Structure 1
């Protein structure tokens, strides 16, 4: 029968679509049957996405369905048990329907379930887990697995100190339960990690790299196929310090020596281009180093291999390049007519970089500077297959996968093997070369690279006889100019204990201790005759400063510079109530400055702000601290050695000396080296800070 034009046509209802395995889950497990059926810890939730076909004359939201679930199993007497459930509401097509199966389903029994959709007029076929029409299945496992046994050959349980930092060990987990699928473990309460059993009910092994010495503990529990977990096994062990280097040469031998004594490994033969007695990096245990002249005679070698480059190894040392116009190798080891590894400087990219290469892989990073000390270390970890480079205690570049050379030739200091002979000869200083047959962990690398700060000046500013405020350890005094004076609390004009009418005027206490320096803002300052610290190298300066009310122009607190500019200058800016650190790029009129700003935390309450500056030349970084907190930080690579004295209360300007401070200064400290955050927090207290903290 044909409908008249414009008349509506009622379409026949299409039945809902049959749910398939992809639409179904048992709890969060995919629908499966037979050997793939999931095991669950308790009666699960059956979930299904149900769909109704979109009919041509109905909007999608008009297609609503409900779900009908069915589950069955055999009880202990072999009688089939069946349960059904119908969703109480209809939902739009594509919605998820769920049925929490009833409790009381016996454990260890195969349970089947299926579902179909109902649109109110027709029902879909029952769901199928496979092409044969099978239902979803599951088995309830209500028994926790047995706790695992834990064992390790390298790190046995008990009070025996074993192996050491940087040396891998294997831990084996094994539960007697035959349904264990994995083990979850953590070391000393750290993050939990799960490892799969090597087969259902089997053991698992992990590799462990200790990074600190002392007592340690691993906690492990087993996981079965239903998601149940065992009780936790706790296993305690003790880790020794890392193994000593297999080769170590301080290179601090007497001038004129033709060999370098070894703390570990064989004595190294020195070429005639090696001169002992060179300068050493300050703040280290080194007293001198070897200077290599960059010629074919500038090398040292023990004439023997020291590390196995096919296994885990690390090499490092203190180096100071004298020039950066060509590739230079600090340490290497021969591998036939090529080096098995190299550690040094590369210039192929146009800009010099530190470099560690092994097996055709090269890791590069950091920026060497001629005449500047750096601690460099290269590491190849055979467990991970990665090569890493560390510069001044921090990782540089990006770790890279490496296939190391396996040939073992002679260890070299100051040169690398090439097809035509040795090349890439080092020009500059090298000291404390070490080679390890293990991982050198980051904390060890940081210790090897640490330079303990050295105090260069401490002025308590409590007295100034003859206009000279003494340095605490007998160093250069601060010379007070007109407008600068040391304030001490005056004695009371009368004694209330003996004079009942006495009302002494209160006098403010000094900022710290028994006195402080007062500056008038009109020329008053104090200064040393010469420089206190090498501003090209790492340094720390600090002071307690109180700014007088009413000032409106920037005022310098501390500075040290040259004839025209300041290498560093700390000033207070009243308009923004902040401190600024200005690092000059050179001693020339109008030289560029790098400036960072740190806001004050509010009023100093008359007790002053504790201001400090840290220049870390190893990391090319400057940081401004106020009251022990880092307020600003930036990279800085333009340091220079200033020749002028330390200035308290003034700095260089375009018109000469200026920016005179109106206020008070106390506890001026100057150090070579970068103080730690802990040490910085101790500045300004009147006591000496802990330099090794």
Structure 2
């Protein structure tokens, strides 16, 4: 009962109302009454919330409550057994609990109720009308381990199903009280499936993403929450199947038909010219060029793939223009189009790639005229989502879609509208593929893979007539005054043992490195080494002595008309290697700065291997140090521009002309057209080029 504060006046004595009990739970399961008790895996904790009734206007006067719990059951002889326990809490509106003893019988319906006391009045028992007694059963036996079977992927069977092909796995348990099966596949995913009836089987759907050995692990969980032992199920998927339809579009000039690697040959209109350019770094030798006219198309008499099921369609494309909507691939129906993949100009004048399936559309990416891109549309019947991938990366927001099965013609370079074909493609198309399965992530990346091309490699082992050679016989680097090739000493000695010995450090890599004096020494090509408007990679090994790391110094740069397209330099104020790339070829243009915090390495060290990777497909630029990136070393750089100036080693443009001359050592400059993968970057900095396999 509440105590009135000293000095408080009351007009009349307020009637004390009994407390309220609510939110009853058995082992955190809500109160179950009637014919369906709660099943628990051990003697449960009983809980109830106790508070003053809303009508009690003595609120603000704290009261101390107790809660009396009573349980009862019939033993094996039919005699009723009862026990009780009381819990207390100092304040109102708190949860009261009691722990039940461990000797309670299993597989027996045990009832319970609770009432509360505020020091003056008792509440009614919670079982009194309109309430009811709560009931639980202790289940002290875990369920039996489940049994797993699959006709799609039989256990221990090689070459079943296939990568990208969904299969069903049936899980069942001999125990009759199982309510769920918890599973995980080796490497993911994991989840829970529930049977439709207590103790019944359930089905897990799964798609292998590679043909490595697979393992499914499953536990059964019964209604008390007890888990079974684990069942492991091993299976092996076949390698990914080839496209059901494919046209390389690499036919001879003058051809009127595109040969099919699989599926039907495609008839070409008069606006199609074979023998067009192919994206570098791919196996394609040539492509088809469509002129955007009413005759610029290719078509078959039948669908390329069943669009009513899981499928994927994609191609290498290079638009000749990006300011109008154009179609790469589409599928006819009797009255329209089942799906289309193409370029959408957009109302905001910003073009995007798009994949339309029925009434759903996914749009994203940034097409550019004259730029190659690999575009891929995928629909997954299991998830119901349509997705769009550009250059191996998902773009836009995946969309729920209702697939449209079609039996009409497949179109390359146009789409069917209400009044005939429209949105005709102007540009190049190559390697059109259609898959009747899920295109898995590794394939998505692989289809868009463009193997970088080595443009130059300078190891600085020798010099003659003021130049140092490129390892493959390409354009040499010219050495200015203050730049020399350091090869160390032929005599090896240890100063601590030989007082006449003068320590000579070893070259950074191999037989020599480029030594720069920090005053005017540099090396230069006669032309740009990389096209900075497209994807490129540059690697270099650099070393600065601790005593010299007092001012900004540039390792590599390549200039445009007004500014450097990139500048890789050491910044002493932050002890960081910095990559600076202006967004436009204009004086004072905004800069993208990527930093890799790495202290300089002294004369006993082998320097730092630095790598610039610009990926035009994702509009990102990364700076690696010794093969790794840290937080803050990946930046966004849209629409890179092409520089015209030669590669500079050891200097950069400043407001006062050439400056930021490097005092230090440089070695192993490597330049690639294309963006190296992160794993390939680890192989740079050696005398041999890394293997860019796969």
Q: Is the TM-score greater than 0.5?
A: yes
User: Residue 16 in 1 paired to residue 18 in 2?
Assistant: yes
1:393 match:
392
Aligned counterparts of 1:129 and 1:456: Cα–Cα separation in 2: 87
TM-score by length of 2: 0.93
Indicate the residue corresponding to 1:597 in structure 2.
595
Measured at CA, do residues 70 and 586 of structure 1 come closer, stay the same or move farther in structure 2, by a change above 3 Å?
closer
Residue in 2 aligned with 1:73?
A: 73
Structure 1 counterpart SS, 2:645? coil
Deviations 1:171-195 (A, max 9, x none): 1111122211111111126464221
Pair 1:328 & 2:323 matched: no
Indicate the SS of the match to 1:447: helix
Kept after mapping to 1: 8 A contact 2:20/2:52: no
Moved more, 364-373 or 151-160: 151-160
Q: 1:296 aligns with which of 290, 294, 317?
A: 294
* Closer, same or farther: CA 191–101 of 1 in aligned 2, 3 Å: farther
Which deviates further from its counterpart, 605-614 or 585-594?
A: 585-594
| Residue equivalent to 2:403 | 404
Deviations 1:272-321 (A, max 9, x none): 22222222111111122111111112111223211122221110111111
Give CA-to-partner distance per residue, 1:197-236, whole Å, 9 cap, x none.
1111211112112212121111112111111222222111
Which 10-residue stretch deviates more, 351-360 or 416-425?
416-425
Write out aligned runs for 1:193-272 (5 A): 193-272=191-270
Question: Which consecutive unaligned segments of at least 5 residues does structure 2 have?
Answer: 1-6
Measure how far apart 1:37 and its partner are: 1.4
CA contact (8 A) 2:524 2:647 kept: yes
Residue 525 (structure 2) pairs with residue 528 (structure 1): yes
**CA separation in 1, counterparts of 2:8 and 2:402?**
78
Change (3 A) 1:359 1:50: same
Q: Which runs of 5+ in 1 are unaligned?
A: none
2-structure distance, mates of 1:189, 1:333: 36
- Give 1:149 shift: 1.6
Residue 342 of structure 1 is matched in structure 2 by 340
Q: Distance in 2 between matches of 1:541 and 1:660?
A: 19
1:524 match: secondary structure: coil
Q: How does 1:451-490 map to 2 (within 5 A)?
A: 451-490=450-489
Aligned to 1:678: 679
Whether the 8 Å contact between 1:54 and 1:60 is mirrored in structure 2 is no
CA-based RMSD: 2.5
Match of 1:608 in 2: 607
Q: Contact 2:357–2:402 (CA<8 Å) still a contact in 1? A: yes
What is the match of residue 112 of structure 2? Answer: 113
Which residue pairs with 2:566 in the alignment?
A: 568
The answer to whether the 8 A contact 2:557-2:566 is kept is: yes
Q: Structure 2 CA distance, aligned partners of 1:18 and 1:493? A: 92
- Structure 1 CA distance, aligned partners of 2:324 and 2:55? 77
> For 1:11 and 1:455, how far apart are their aligned partners in 2?
95
1:377-401 deviation digits (Å, cap 9, x = unpaired): 0011122221110011111000111
Name the counterpart of 2:358.
359
Cα contact 1:385–1:402 (8 A) shared by 2: yes
CA contact (8 A) 2:158 2:238 kept: no
Q: Deviations over 1:59-114 (max 9, x none)?
A: 53532211222111111011111111123x45322222212222222222111111
For 1:158 and 1:323, the matched residues in 2 are separated by 53
Q: Is 1:72–1:111's contact at 8 Å kept on the other side of the alignment?
A: yes
Counterpart contact for 1:492–1:504, Cα < 8 Å: no
**TM-score with structure 1 setting the length:** 0.93
Larger deviation, residues 22-31 vs 486-495: 486-495
Q: 1:606 to 1:214 in 2, by over 3 A?
A: closer
Aligned to 2:528, what secondary structure does the other structure show?
Answer: coil
- Contact 2:19–2:121 at 8 Å: present in 1 too? no
Aligned equivalent of 1:318: 316
Q: CA deviation at 1:643?
A: 3.2
Tell me the SS of whatever aligns to 1:678.
helix
Give distance in 1, aligned partners of 2:184 and 2:462.
Answer: 59
Equivalences for residues 546-557 of structure 1 within 5 A: 546-547=543-544, 549-550=547-548, 552-557=550-555
Stretch deviating more after TM superposition (111-120 or 360-369): 111-120
> What CA deviation, in whole Å up to 9, does each residue of 1:566-595 have, x standing for no partner?
322212233433222222445555555433
Q: Could you tell me which residue of structure 1 aligns to residue 41 of structure 2? A: 41
Note the C-alpha offset of 1:521: 2.6
The yes-or-no answer on 1:282 pairing with 2:257 is no
**3-state SS, counterpart of residue 445 of structure 1:** helix
Aligned positions, number: 682
Give the secondary structure class of the aligned counterpart of 2:451.
coil
d(CA) in 1 for partners of 2:657 and 2:565?
15
**For the residues of structure 2 that align with 1:8 and 1:299, how far apart are their CA atoms?**
94
Kindly report which structure 2 residues correspond to 1:176-191, keeping only aligned pairs within 5 A, or say none: 176-188=174-186, 190=188
User: Could you tell me which residue of structure 1 aligns to residue 431 of structure 2?
Assistant: 432
For residues 8 and 345 of structure 1, what CA distance do their matches in structure 2 show? 80
In 2, are the aligned partners of 1:337 and 1:421 still within 8 Å (CA)? no
Report the Cα distance in structure 1 between the residues aligned to 2:144 and 2:524, rounded to whole angstroms.
75
